[in-house]
Structure 1
Amino acid sequence: MSQQMLATQWTIALSHINEIPEQVLVKGDRATQEWLQANRPNSPLLANPGNQPGLGASFWGCSGAILALIGGNLVGAAKLLKIKRLINDLGGVTQAVRIMWGASFSYEKMRAAGGAIAALAGEFLGISQVRSQCFN
């Protein structure tokens, strides 16, 4: 997968996470899902990963893997809040993706860079589907 495609997919995925208001995330998983249903009813964040056509490496790849986890309720609001705060620490979605691109979307390089980018990569690394779809 090209660096440009990875950057696009990470941008989509992190943007969807970043859209959720922090005050909703601190209320927990149920509030987060209710907010998504009320405010983003067509969002891939609500998709059932087993029934959503196009999810997987063939179309969504990295972003699909991340969005499927959120939509499948496998990642809780507390983890999303931590990810959202790390995105903000890095200067927003665009800057976070630029830093990831600069590290060639390699977990090892992001980890070596330290700081918020290492923490952000670490939040996703433990999830095997994301690891296989999102990191070189």
Structure 2
Amino acid sequence: MKRKLYLSIPILITLALIGTIINPKITHAKEEMNPASDIENITGINGILKSIKSNNTYKYGNTTKGYEVSNNPNKPIQLDVSTNISLPSGNIKKGVISPNGTVVYKNNDKENVIYAVQPTNDGLKSLIQINDQKAPKEYRFKMNLPRGSKLVTAAEYLGSEFDTGEVYVVNKENMITSIFSPAWAKDANNQDVPTYYKTDGNTLIQVIDFNSKTAFPIIADPDWSKIAACSAAIAWFIGSNLFAAAKIIKVKKYVKELGGIKETAKLLAGATSWEEKLKIGGEAFKGLAAEITGVGGLAVCINW
């Protein structure tokens, strides 16, 4: 009798495990979706500004130079006195702020698209979370710009041969005043999803080319930033007619290889050693450094 009982113990354990897999307890039900967490897992939380006021409007930075993000999704986000950006239209719920500063706007009609914003020291990230393949592939962000300013793609501004994937806000003198970094999108496995920008007047459109095999959710991000001193200097150099065409072409080539004007400026002016800059930028950085050394207007970029 003892032998029979002893032999049945492994069988009982196996049956119990099979039963758990086939018919799990109700407490193992699927977790409720947490879009703020999904988004912050991709973007990280370093650099997100903390709100200094949270009534109907979340304010970031100081009162004169900061951003204003309304919890009303139909109200434009104020980037500065004369520039704002609107989320794509839709039946969207009021924004709710996460403990880390991400403001999330869920959809009243369906949950296949969620929007969010993250104000940062550099600018504003306007985020899209796509939860299934029924979602749209195009997302329109309308901008209100100062008189005479407009959106211009890098292909238009630099020439298609030197397209960095960025989109620029340029003023009436055709000088860059702010930048959208190249479009990006990541799936649930942190793999790149094909994406790019196009423009329609002063509306920025991000196109995200997912398919039935894509791992959802996808996080995408039109990332707008104020133009910093070095970025402005590079833009001035490229946009001026003060230098030999061959020199400007070389600089455009290196800027493309380094990931665009914003990334080039970060590398040039960043607090890293010459060796670190070379390690990151390689021959493109070395070539660019040779071209800009001695140009007075680019002295702000030279940190080596």
TM-score of the pair, normalised by structure 1: 0.43
TM-score of the pair, normalised by structure 2: 0.23
Q: Higher strand proportion, which one?
A: 2
Bigger relative contact order (CA 8 A; separation at least 6): 1
* Larger gyration radius, structure 1 or structure 2: 2
